[in-house]
Structure 1
């Protein structure tokens, strides 16, 4: 049987199936790990309610924990509170940038904020230029948008803040 801290350590090695350079814990979708009824109960919150990778993630979590000796593992999908890009670790943001995906920027402001009609310019994760244009609101998944750098001409995805 694994302890909670051992289970968290195992989960740190479970990659996100759509962005394999970051783990499910770095992405912030693993919310809780509890010892329950002689096994482990893991709560995950998908990046959005229609995420097609939710079942693959749950199975990967089960497999990794069982392989590590956890015994019975249950995975609960919890939609509230909704996942937010604030849950992505700083380490994961750097890994996203190195992988060629522009991570969501900065800390979320606290309290009411003015509505902005001028889109923020994204920095290209390859060359750093902010001379970028959005090609599509959706990239390879609904949680990412597709951009192109006008300086180096390379396309890149942007992990949209939620």
Structure 2
């Protein structure tokens, strides 16, 4: 998702700099735990994980691969032309500007009648 900003290695220690998608992002704890799990599963025990809020994260940092994974998970990726991730229809309506987290909005597809989240473009 482009939140890992920098990885440094110095004197047998790694420093990983991450930026949240939003201030107060509820996923940051899980993201840090996943980073720790991946480091330690590779035998890396000497590390620091730091958070940087500047510059602020933007959806421009998301790769096409990440956007495809969001769509595969049923979440419409950030875009000015929102389409249903289930049936690719553009016949959609906003249900709520906020979904399960502040970075997502809740939509409904009028073609397949399925609700879905849209990752807001920032």
Please indicate, yes or no, whether the TM-score normalized by the shorter chain is above 0.5: yes
Q: What are the within-5 Å matches in structure 2 for residues 81-96 of structure 1?
A: 81-96=55-70
TM-score, structure 2 as length reference:
0.93
Does the residue aligned with 2:65 lie in a helix, a strand or coil? helix
Deviations 1:62-101 (Å, cap 9, x if unpaired)? 2210220223110000000101111111011111112111
* CA RMSD of superposed structures (Å): 1.3
Going from structure 1 to structure 2, the CA distance change for 1:121 and 1:60 (only over 3 Å counts) comes to closer
- Segments of structure 2 that go 5 or more residues without pairing to the other structure are none
Q: Which residue of 2 aligns with 1:122?
A: 82
Going from structure 1 to structure 2, the CA distance change for 1:126 and 1:37 (only over 3 Å counts) comes to same
- Name the one with the larger strand percent: 2
Aligned residues: 122
Does the residue aligned with 1:51 lie in a helix, a strand or coil? coil
Does the residue aligned with 2:87 lie in a helix, a strand or coil? coil
Shift >4 Å, 4+ stretches? none
TM-score, structure 1 as length reference:
0.71
Higher relative contact order (CA 8 A, sep 6+): 2
- Segments of structure 1 that go 5 or more residues without pairing to the other structure are 1-26, 106-119
